[in-house]
Amino acid sequence: MPPSDNGFGSRREDGTWNGMVGLVITGEADLGLGPLAITEPRWRVVAYSKPVFNTDLVILTSKGSLEIDPWAFLLPLTPALWGLLMVTLVVVWVATLLVGRVAQAWQQWPHSIFLQLYGALMQQGVTMPLSGQRLRLVVGGWVVASALVVWSYSGLLVSVMTVRHVPRPIQTVKDLIDASHIKVFTRSKTAFTDLMAVSSIGVSFLP
């Protein structure tokens, strides 16, 4: 006998249960058979058997169309790597000022040295005078590291800028929770609606 509300079972505000779980609790049904997810409130009022059938749950989103991301030039490097690269540039600049013995004109304009080091990252030449092994080691190491990063970056950039893709931002339950602008439609009076009603943040897993 199906429940009058065609629900699986959720607890009402007065503490009673509706759906299939409600029929089992009141004794109107001896057993309930269906895709009943295990939740803590249900587990406290009914006894579950071992699963007799397993199914995979998926999240449905609109398919979208092929497009090229205008911000794709940022994708080859992660935000952490972009930040580390900028921090390294500043550190090398300070080290150059501390250990370098450059010409008088360059010492008067520290920002010119910074532009020289930034130019090396942009695959431009370094024209400032380099006197002393420590200065050559600092600047030369930065030039080599910059070249390796730029070569890797340019190869990946060609791929992400020329290949169109379909954006699929929602891949996991956590993605769905973090996307506050998403409107979710699901069947009412299920374990999932119960979990969404009581969860405030994150993804919950039952033991």
Query: What pLDDT is recorded for position 149?
Result: 86
Query: Rounded to the nearest 5°, which phi and psi values hold at 165?
Result: -140, 165
Q: What CATH number corresponds to the domain at position 199?
A: 3.40.190.10
Task: Note the pLDDT tens digit of each residue in 109-128.
Answer: 788 888 888 888 888 878 87
Tally of structural domains, the chain:
2
Q: What is the pLDDT of residue 205?
A: 47
Model confidence at 201, pLDDT cuts 50, 70, 90, reads low
Q: Answer yes or no: is 52 within a domain.
A: yes
What is the reported pLDDT for 90? Answer: 92
Quote the pLDDT of residue 206: 43
d(CA 71, CA 106): 36
Instruction: State residue 73's pLDDT score.
Output: 73
Residues 47 and 89 in one domain: no
Shared-domain flag, residues 39 and 82: no
Query: 155 with 86, same domain?
Result: yes
78 Cβ contact partners less than 8 Å away, ≥ 6 residues apart: none
Residues 81 and 136 in one domain: yes
Mean pLDDT across 50-59? 73
Do 15 and 49 lie in a common domain?
yes
pLDDT-derived band at 102 (thresholds 50, 70, 90) equals low
Same-domain pairing of 10 and 85: no
CB atoms within 10 A of CB 115: 15
In this structure, are 114 and 148 located in the same domain? yes
Task: Give the span between the Cα atoms of 82 and 85, in whole angstroms.
Answer: 5
Token pair for 151: 């070569």
Average pLDDT for 27-43:
83
The answer, yes or no, to whether residue 11 has pLDDT greater than 80, is yes
Question: Is 167 part of any domain?
Answer: no
Given a cut of 80, whether residue 43 has pLDDT beyond it is yes
Whether 132 and 76 share a structural domain: yes
| Any domain includes 18 | yes
Q: Is residue 107 part of a domain?
A: yes
Domain assignment present for residue 10? The answer is: yes
**Residue of 69 and 153 predicted with greater confidence:** 153
Taking residues 159-166, report their average pLDDT: 70
More confident residue, 42 or 71: 42
Percent of the chain at pLDDT above 90? 3
Residue 179 lies in a domain: no
Does a structural domain hold residue 48? yes
In a domain, 65, yes or no: no
pLDDT band at 87 (very low <50, low <70, confident <90, very high): very high
Q: How far apart are CA 191 and CA 133, in angstroms?
A: 68
- Residues 169 and 175: their CA atoms lie apart, in Å, by 7
For residues 149 and 102, membership in a common domain is answered with yes
11 and 81 co-located in one domain = no
Residues spanned by the domain of 88: 72-162
Q: Are residues 130 and 76 in the same domain?
A: yes
> Are 112 and 154 members of one domain?
yes
The residue to which tokens 């290949």 are assigned: 163
**Residue of 143 and 38 predicted with greater confidence:** 143
Confidence at residue 88, expressed as pLDDT on a 0 to 100 scale: 92
What dihedral do alpha carbons 58, 62, 66, 71 form, nearest 10°? Answer: -90
